[in-house]
Homo-oligomer: A and B are copies of this chain.
């Protein structure tokens, strides 16, 4: 089907611009005009494709969560063994969040504090990440790799720990590299479920 004016492309340009602007200015300080300009389209194009500012934000959130989770899943699917998957998941989440800084800021920072009206959406976004972690933790519990912990609580706690470390690094005036944090953070998380440091084991291999 031939597309006049390239409808899908315009929509994508708007979503890209929205991510840029929202992550840069925050939801409330972002103007539709900013998005229109950044997208190199127009306010009219915006409202043709999205019914409201809120709607594009929600669309963006859903898209980002899906992409990030898909990426993580893809990165760990070839790992064998529940523990190895968990370790890979931690590493990948950190790597992907570090790589897609804008998307991460959008998800973890800008999405917060929008008022009760957005609570459910934020809750859902966080929950999907936590479920991703919980799923693999549960697998490790099931095959006996780890003790029978409270999987859900641990998943949230881990997500929060990762979130905060990244968050403070993002907000910090001296933008230190995220890479240096990966190993100690991973060790900390694994130890919280009774695993001796993987890094030591790795070194001992």
Q: Are the C-beta atoms of A153 and B171 separated by less than 8 Å? A: no
Q: Within 8 Å CB of A173, what residues of B?
A: 120, 123
Q: Residue on B with the closest CB to A166? A: B160
A156 to B161, CA, bound (A): 7
Distance in Å: Cβ of A193 to nearest Cβ of chain B: 7
Residue A191 lies at the interface, judged by CB distance under 8 Å to chain B: yes
Distance in Å: Cβ of A132 to nearest Cβ of chain B: 14
Counted per complex, copies of this chain come to 4
Q: A170-205: contact bitstring with B at CB < 8 Å (1 yes, 0 no)?
A: 011100000001001100110111100000000000
* Interface size range of chain A in the complex: 35 or more
Q: Are the C-beta atoms of B154 and A159 separated by less than 8 Å? A: no
Q: Residue on B with the closest CB to A181? A: B153
Q: Within 8 Å CB of A116, what residues of B?
A: 24-26
From A11-19, A61-69, A107-115, the one touching the partner chain is A107-115
Distance in Å: Cβ of A128 to nearest Cβ of chain B: 12
Q: Which of A114, A168, A191 has most chain B Cβ within 10 Å?
A: A168
A160-B160, A191-B191, A192-B191 are known contacts. Are A171 and B119 too (CB-CB below 8 A)? yes
Residue A126 lies at the interface, judged by CB distance under 8 Å to chain B: yes
Q: Which of A78-116 contact B (CB under 8 A)?
A: 109-116
Distance in Å: Cβ of A148 to nearest Cβ of chain B: 12
